[in-house]
A and B are shown apart, each in its own frame.
Chain A
């Protein structure tokens, strides 16, 4: 098994609508298994290298198992053309995924999409319409739908009420900086409630579905019904993990359990979202490798 290098890689420009997207394909360095891996980044304009070369390292390691892989820049990100002003979870870049898949060699017939945060939700949405996707590796996927920067203000009022009287919250009120940030948060939440446009949205049933995680649950259960294998990786400090636990208590668990192949849940100590610690990055790579080898290809991963 040989880990790939740049010699095994090919930069590529490809079209997606009016935009020219950029990606790098890593060729398999052992006998190809016919499966292509597409690696998607989160929002926040992170280029295809990922934080600390995570996507590069992952792609080159997966080549040793016979996978072709591609790391790509969304429209308006990295080397791609176009512009993106915000990353909204209810508007994932499914077209970009579809275009990227067309760039793999003809010998690749099935795909696994790995994505973090916004990329995870894009992967999940893509699996709804693309039957070639046989696996999804979702790292810290947000359960509720919100635009970038609205993670906290999009929470329901009950969430705020449950936290406001906690001893920790009360103790923080003695800190001037914390007090100021609480005040900002309260103002933002108040604005989101009283603004007429937002209020109209809040009354819209479809919008409420997005906010309470029903869209995520529907997409996930749909993927499982179609036989797509799913890996879910959360960190104990991810706010999305708290949302996931709430969703599980509110009925997601029953949906997942009714499938023959329920998703594999890996919970790491710390925050997976943002991949802001090298230890977490290494664990994410290791978990992905093991899952792809054992579940998707069916080989013994052993000690890695």
Chain B
């Protein structure tokens, strides 16, 4: 059973619960803003500067509630803030169109973990801006225990990620969004697919998705070992036993990140296909490859989904697939193909809903 489907059960447009939620957000926002502005005044922050240089007109509120930027040239407003309870706040950014589509549409973007998180960061921001410029609101967030959010990385589980995604959906829905789409990058594909389960017909886009959680951990662990012990027998022997390493130390090291046992245990035997049981979801899979061919795991997953009745669009972006290491590669090399194909698909699919 999808783990987070119980964590949020929103009835969308017109629901009483949603209206109450929005009212609560507004009240909390005003209260937080007043409190923080009062505190800032006592701390002696300089007055809020207005940038009128260039094309963008921006302003910010130095409040714990949010920082806001208005870009009239691309027609978007960006709002960065921490949401949630004290000590467990989730960093989130909303990219809102100044002129939204009718009916209003939105997309929840679920990021990945480890080096993937950093490697795809700018691509996700560019994607969110491009989509918002076409009238679709986008909400991005960092899972608790990762990025700018609160939380102990040791406590991160797949369930906690799904709860964070649920909270992010509530904020996205707070913008009067009536149609929602989901997108997941690498590990985020699992979270996005799970979050989409209660929304029949919601489009789901994946960027180079992780098909099986177990293979993600194994691949990352091996890649890290190879980088330190390239060619030695020790690397080959050790790479076969990441679970033993996990049992021994409670975590494994993957390219400068620790993956803790709780996360591995909570996502044991997770597979992307288990979340995709309702063929009403249109699917997009964007993948990188130098030879213009999808990976075997993606190929077989796509075949399986098509057999189940899903409408799957496969987009191959030419570029080296280097998941586990940071390199000097300019992200713009991938950016335009990757972003444009996804933006066009989401836009078309959401309007068709």
- Chain A interface residues (CB < 8 Å from chain B): 5-7, 9-15, 17-20, 22, 24-25, 27, 43-49, 51-53, 56, 76-79, 81, 83, 85-86, 102-103, 105-107, 148-149, 274-278, 281
Residues of B within 8 A of A27 (CB): 43
Residues of B within 8 A of A7 (CB): 64, 82, 86-87, 89, 150
* Interface residue count on the B side (C-beta < 8 Å): 56
The minimal Cβ–Cβ distance linking A277 to chain B, given in whole angstroms, is 6
Bound Cα distance A278, B308 (Å)? 43
Instruction: Report how far A277 CA is from B51 CA in the complex, Å.
Output: 39
Contact check: which of A14, A19, A44, A81 meets B328 at CB < 8 Å? A44
Are the C-beta atoms of A11 and B80 separated by less than 8 Å? yes
Q: Is the interface of A mostly helix, strand, loop or mixed?
A: loop
B91 nearest in chain A by CB position: A6
> Does the CB pair A13–B87 fall under 8 Å?
no
Q: A13-B58, A277-B253, A281-B256 are contacts. A6–B82 as well, Cβ < 8 Å?
A: yes
- Interface contact B326-A47, CB-CB below 8 Å: no
Q: How far is the CA of A46 from the CA of B330 in the complex (A)?
A: 12
Chain A proximity of B55: nearest CB distance (Å): 7
The answer to the question of B239 belonging to the interface, with a C-beta cut-off of 8 Å to chain A, is no
- Kindly list chain B residues whose C-beta atoms are within 8 Å of the C-beta of A14: 49, 51, 60
CB-based contact A49/B147 at 8 Å: yes
Contacts of B327 in A (CB 8 A): 44
Residues of A within 8 A of B150 (CB): 5-7
How far is A151 from B175 in the complex, measured between Cα atoms in Å?
A: 48
- The one of A6, A45, A79, A103 that contacts B93, using a Cβ cutoff of 8 Å: A79
Residue of B nearest to A19 (CB): B54
Chain B residues within 8 Å of A56, by CB = 147-148
**Residues of chain A lying within 8 A (CB to CB) of residue B60:** 12-14
Query: Does A105 lie within 8 Å of B153, measured CB to CB?
Result: no
Type the 1/0 row for B315-339, where 1 means its CB is closer than 8 Å to any CB of A: 0000000000011101110000000
**B68 contacts partner chain A, Cβ-Cβ < 8 Å:** yes
Q: Chain A residues near B121: list those with CB within 8 A.
A: 45, 47, 78
Q: Is the CB of B331 within 8 A of A45?
A: yes
Contact (Cβ within 8 A) B62 A276: no
B259-284 toward A: CB 8 Å interface, digit per residue (1/0)? Answer: 00000000000000000000000000
Contact A46 B118 (CB under 8 A): yes
* B93 cross-chain contacts in A, Cβ below 8 A: 79
CB distance from A39 to the nearest CB of B (A): 12
Supposing A46-B118, A53-B153, A78-B125 touch, asked if A22 and B80 sit within 8 A by C-beta, the answer is yes
Q: Say yes or no: A6 contacts B148, CB within 8 Å.
A: yes
B5 within 8 A of A: no
Residue of A with least CB distance to B325? A276
Query: Whose C-beta in chain B lies nearest to the C-beta of A28?
Result: B43
**With the chains together, A20 CA to B53 CA distance in Å?**
10
Query: How close is B234's CB to chain A, nearest CB, in angstroms?
Result: 17
| Chain A residues with CB under 8 A of B125 | 78-79
**A20-B69, A105-B46 known; A278+B257 contact, CB < 8 A:** yes
- Interface contacts beyond A45-B331, A85-B332, A276-B326: sample of 16 additional A-B pairs, CB < 8 Å, sorted by A: A7-B89, A7-B150, A10-B64, A14-B51, A18-B56, A19-B54, A20-B51, A44-B328, A47-B122, A49-B148, A51-B257, A52-B256, A78-B122, A79-B125, A105-B46, A107-B43
Q: Among the interface residues B36, B69, B71, B78, which one has the most CB atoms of the partner chain A within 10 A?
A: B69
Tell me, in angstroms, the Cα distance from A45 to B120 when the chains sit together. Answer: 10
| B contact residues around A6 at 8 Å (CB) | 82, 89, 91, 148-150
- Cβ distance B126 to chain A, nearest Cβ, rounded Å: 10
Residues of A within 8 A of B53 (CB): 15, 17-18
B80-A106 in contact (CB<8A): no
Q: How far is the CA of A275 from the CA of B325 in the complex (A)?
A: 12
CA A53 to CA B227, docked complex, whole Å:
21
Cβ of B43: which chain A residues have Cβ within 8 Å of it? 27, 105, 107
Are A18 and B45 CB-contacts (below 8 A) given A277-B253, A278-B257? no
B67 at the interface (CB under 8 A from A): yes
Known: A11-B67, A79-B93. A278 touches B118 (CB 8 A): no
Residues of chain B with a CB closer than 8 A to A275's CB: 256
Question: A6-B89, A13-B80, A15-B53 in contact; A149/B62 too (CB < 8 A)?
Answer: no
Residues in A whose Cβ lies below 8 Å from that of B118: 45-47, 49, 51
Give the docked Cα–Cα distance between A85 and B82 (Å): 30
Q: Which residues of A contact B82 (CB under 8 A)?
A: 6-7, 9, 11
> Is B328 a contact of A15 with CB atoms below 8 Å?
no
Task: Give the docked Cα–Cα distance between A85 and B330 (Å).
Answer: 7
**A11: B residues at CB distance < 8 A:** 66-67, 80-82, 91, 148
